A = this chain, B = another copy of it.
Amino acid sequence: MDLFDIIDFEKLKALYKFGRALHLKDIQTLIKSAHKRSFSQGDYLIQEGDTKREVFLIRRGLIRAFSLNDKGDEITTSLRWENQIVASTDILLFNEPARQYIQALEPCEMLSIDFDLLQSIVSQNPKLEANRKHLLRAELKRAYHRINTFVLLSPEERYIEFVHANPDILNRVPNKYIANILGITPVSLSRIRKRIAAKRK
> In whole angstroms, how far apart are the Cα atoms of A77 and B129 in the complex?
30
A125 at the interface (CB under 8 A from B): no
Measured between C-beta atoms, what is the minimum distance from A66 to chain B in Å? 10
Check A150/B150 contact, CB under 8 A, given A89-B140, A141-B94, A143-B140: yes
- Copies per complex? 2
Please, which residue of chain B has its CB at the minimum distance from the CB of A151?
B183
Residues of B within 8 A of A89 (CB): 140, 144
Please, which residue of chain B has its CB at the minimum distance from the CB of A129?
B129
- Most chain-B CB neighbours within 10 Å: which of A75, A139, A183? A183
> In whole angstroms, how far apart are the Cα atoms of A183 and B158 in the complex?
12
Segment 62-114 of A: residues with Cβ below 8 Å from B: 67, 69-70, 75, 77, 89, 93-94
Q: Is the interface of A mostly helix, strand, loop or mixed?
A: helix
> In whole angstroms, how far apart are the Cα atoms of A97 and B105 in the complex?
39
> In whole angstroms, how far apart are the Cα atoms of A15 and B75 in the complex?
41
Residues B147 and A143 in contact, CB atoms below 8 Å apart = yes
Residues of B within 8 A of A151 (CB): 67, 75, 77, 180-181, 183
A136 at the interface (CB under 8 A from B): yes
Mark contacts of A141-174 with chain B using CB atoms, 8 A cut-off: 1 yes-contact digit, 0 otherwise: 1011011101110000000000000000000000
Residues of B within 8 A of A75 (CB): 151-152
Residues B140 and A136 in contact, CB atoms below 8 Å apart = yes
Please, which residue of chain B has its CB at the minimum distance from the CB of A78?
B147
- Most chain-B CB neighbours within 10 Å: which of A75, A89, A144, A150? A144
Check A93/B141 contact, CB under 8 A, given A77-B147, A146-B147, A147-B147: yes
Please, which residue of chain B has its CB at the minimum distance from the CB of A149?
B150
> In whole angstroms, how far apart are the Cα atoms of A69 and B161 in the complex?
14
Binding site for B on A (CB under 8 A): 67, 69-70, 75, 77, 89, 93-94, 129, 133, 136-137, 139-141, 143-144, 146-148, 150-152, 180-181, 183
